[in-house]
Structure 1
Amino acid sequence: MAVTPLYDPKTLIMLACLLVGVMGIVLLLMGRATRPRIPGVHHWAAGSLLTALAGVLILLRGSAPDWLTFTVQNTAAMLAYTLYWVGSAKHFGHRPKLKVWVLLFVVAWCGQTYFTHVEDSLRGRYLSLTGYVFAASLMHAIVFARELYRHRGDHQQRLLGAGFTFFWVVFSTLVFGARWAHAIFQPQDGQGMLDVSWLQALYLGTFSFGLVIVNIGFLLLVSERIRSNFEELAMTDTLTGVRSRRAVVDAASDLFKRSRRSGEPFSVLSLDLDHFKAINDQHGHQVGDRVLQAFCRRMEDTLRQSDVFGRQGGEEFILLLPATSMAQASELADRLLLAAVTSEPGLPGVTVSIGLTDWRRDDTSIDDLFNRADRALYAAKDAGRNNAKYC
């Protein structure tokens, strides 16, 4: 059955190549411009550029050698979908096992080469190429499914790109699976990708549209990672690597709201290194910075994973202890006093003064706890420093 004259496979392929190629360049530039590097983005960029190359080579069929427009084109397509899958796995922190895939790639490559240059078989080429791409797309979909399952119930904005891309990766996988099954059970007459038939129009249209949308999903994932990196920078003290004041205040507000709802206790500690100005004056600011870094390492080694430790500014720090009573906080403060005294080779020793307080039902805001912790800290300093006081 003839299709509408509006359908032209070459025009559709050309548009898809242009869009995917431009997106590949954008991904490449975004990957090169961002620090720290975003895992997987260069794999996606290379995959998109190879996809665009494969499309251009299809358009050259009949005017260029078969080894270029079939063998090289199919190789580029298989590599592209492998890179898409590997890039997504790396983006989400997985290490794909490629040994089996190298063997599968070689088998598929030999198959499509044989059915091009030895025995000219359109069905054989479809089975080799589409079978491999279907398998790679299936693995790609599994990567996204695992990530979404791992974060089920998480409604953060950063999952928008993962969910969006997962939907279209699954869609593309189903298209390739249907095309592969069709190659198994139905004769493959015509000109292949450039055949003007309703079936090829459906396949090529959905394939091209899905490919463009998947690349949009990649761009969403990259933009979300960039935003996440900026948020992480804003929430981290650049000198010591502990939480910034903003991060601590946000965490404290969440703890305060939770305690108001559930009555669960939590404690706040205000810490200040004793005579830190003298260290800077006598040893220089570089040594002072190293002292701060060493102090933070010792504190974090002593704390629980659930505790929130951050730098207020200068030599002042703040510590949040979720689900911790005042008695438990006092015991921890004693351990922190001992940990602070432990000096590292080449650095002057330090001591710390600590002010403690805990959440009370009549507190109206987190500022009430911060103010009490500061008053307790001043009391510790007035008492001779290197001690902990409660308010």
Structure 2
Amino acid sequence: MLSVPTLWTVFVINFLALGLIWAYVMRSYPSFDAARFWTGSAFVAAVGAAMAMLRVVMTESLLPLLAAGTALVFAACLAAMGIKKFFGRPVTWRATLLITGLTFAGLAFFIFGNDSVRMRVSIYSIAQSLPLLLTLRLLLTPHEGRINPGARLAGTVSILIISFYALRLIACVVSGGGEFSFLQFDQLQSVMILVLVFLSMALNFGFLLMAMDRLRNEVADLALLDDLTGVANRRHLVQRLTEECARSERSGQPFALLVIDLDGFKSINDTHGHAAGDFCLQHFTLMAQTRLRPGDLLARTGGDEFCIVLPSSTLREGAMIARRVLEVCRLDAEQCVGSDIPIAVSIGVAQWSREIGPFPDRLIAAADHALYDAKKSGRNCFAAYDPAPPLVPGIEIPALSDVTLRRRA
């Protein structure tokens, strides 16, 4: 049979190891704030377990018992704060200090004022369960349409821990508490501590899986974003266009694509420097985003080239968005004074059709044709691509643009 001091020693070692792991995560990913709380929780739990072990071997003093109970409850509160932080909920110290303070006061009273094992066990069991109970819904509720696998594990383990303490509370009330103090040296206490160690470790493994899933998603997001402007990059654009093409091929509903080029961007870099050019790209991104609708995607495909994906939009609606982007750039250019650099753009607009099918490169090529026509027509304008054959060869017809385009065969 494993002795109680040995199991508490295992508890201490395990939580020290977890604390070091969380400290490494916290240092490696400074923006991952939940790791700070879980680091503190692991180290405080190790201290509390050490105090409990000290109480087992030093039976003449009850101070280690008070310190152990308070520390372990404080560790549970820190873990719950980490859960709230992970899911972006407001985190305050009020509830943590209230639960920990009431636990300290209750344990102190029933240790030194009116010695009662039953009340001590009851207070400790309730205080340990309450922080997990308050955050259980966060762990088991889908976020952004999915449940984090680590959160599901942590939620399941939290239910088991709460059930464990509920059964312990009931048994304590029935028996008087003497056999359920975690400190007596017998087989039952060894089994209980072993279960507690296992559940505590499993809970932290759930937290680690939550962190891994979050960090993996952040890395995936960074792989789809342009470093300079923060909008989608070419990879993200191709993925989105592929999805929209497949969706349109199934439903027959069109969507539009805008290809945008900043006019005279090379001269801006040559005259004002690359820092000024970078600022122009960032400034254009901000201006363009003010004219887009929810669900539209702005992407930088390289250099001074951008694309805008307009889901469920016709060529006419694409032309309307192109006109809005031009207008905001023109208005901004009119307000430029002194060393301000005016930004002008040319835009090509194209609409998905059955001929394009599931191939996004064909749609990009069509929008590029329209962009080329806008450039030929004097720049700082937009042009729409219409693949329909001409009714009368050689006859030009009005297009949905600032320029007149010839229909393309």
Give your verdict on TM over 0.5: yes
Is there any run of 5+ residues in structure 2 with no aligned partner, and where?
A: 386-409
Q: 2:130 aligns with which of 127, 130, 135?
A: 135
Any unmatched runs of 5+ in structure 1? Answer: none
Which residue of the partner structure matches residue 101 of structure 2?
106
Contact 1:31 1:41 in 2 (8 A): yes
User: Which of 328, 353, 356 matches 1:363?
Assistant: 356
Aligned partner of 1:323 in structure 2 is: 312
Q: CA deviation at 1:116?
A: 1.8
Q: What fraction of aligned residue pairs are identical, expressed as a percent?
A: 27
Q: After TM superposition, list the pairs within 5 Å mapping 1:1-40 onto structure 2.
A: 5=1, 7-35=2-30, 37-40=31-34
2:174 aligned residue = 185
> Aligned partner of 1:176: which letter?
Y
Shift of 1:176: 1.7
Distance 1:243 1:191, change over 3 A: closer
Distance 1:163 1:262 in 2: 36
Matched residues in 2 for 1:249 and 1:347: separation? 34
**Aligned partners of 2:188, 2:280: CA distance in 1, in Å?**
70
For the pair 1:383 / 2:377, whether they are aligned, the reply is yes
For residues 10-60 of structure 1, what are the alpha-carbon distances to aligned partners after superposition, in whole Å with 9 as ceiling and x for unaligned? Answer: 33332232222211211111111125x112111011101111111121111
Name the amino acid aligned to 1:256. C
Say whether 1:82 aligns with 2:77.
yes
Structure 2 contact 233–301 (Cα < 8 Å) conserved: yes
Q: Between Structure 1 and Structure 2, how many residues are aligned?
A: 379
Question: 2: distance between equivalents of 1:67 and 1:244?
Answer: 63
Distance 2:117 2:63 in 1: 16
- Alignment partner of 1:208 out of 190, 197, 206: 197
Structure 1 stretch 250-259 or stretch 201-210: which is displaced more? 201-210
1:249 aligns to what? 238
The one-letter code sitting in structure 2 at the alignment partner of 1:102 is L
CA distance in 2, matches of 1:246, 1:66: 66
Contact 2:78 2:96 in 1 (8 A): no
> d(CA) in 2 for partners of 1:381 and 1:280?
20
Query: By how many angstroms is 1:317 displaced?
Result: 0.4
Give the structure, 1 or 2, with the largest relative contact order (CA under 8 Å, sep 6 or more). Answer: 1
Shift of 1:197: 4.6
Q: Shift of residue 218 of structure 1? A: 1.2
Rg larger in structure: 2
> 2:46 is matched with which residue: 52, 66, 72?
52
Matches within 5 A, 1:160-309: 160-190=149-179, 192-197=181-186, 199-309=188-298
CA RMSD of aligned residues (A): 2.0
Q: Check conservation: 1:20, 1:215, Cα contact below 8 A.
A: no
Mapped to 2, the partners of 1:99 and 1:56 lie a distance apart of 26
Shift of 1:83: 0.4
Distance 2:265 2:60 in 1: 75
- Determine if contact 2:180/2:189 at 8 Å carries over to the other structure: no
**Contact 2:3/2:186, CA 8 A, preserved across alignment:** no
Is 1:347 the counterpart of 2:340? The answer is: yes
Contact 1:40–1:87 (CA<8 Å) still a contact in 2? yes
Cα pair 2:298 2:309 within 8 Å, conserved = yes
Return 309-318 or 192-201, whichever deviates more: 192-201
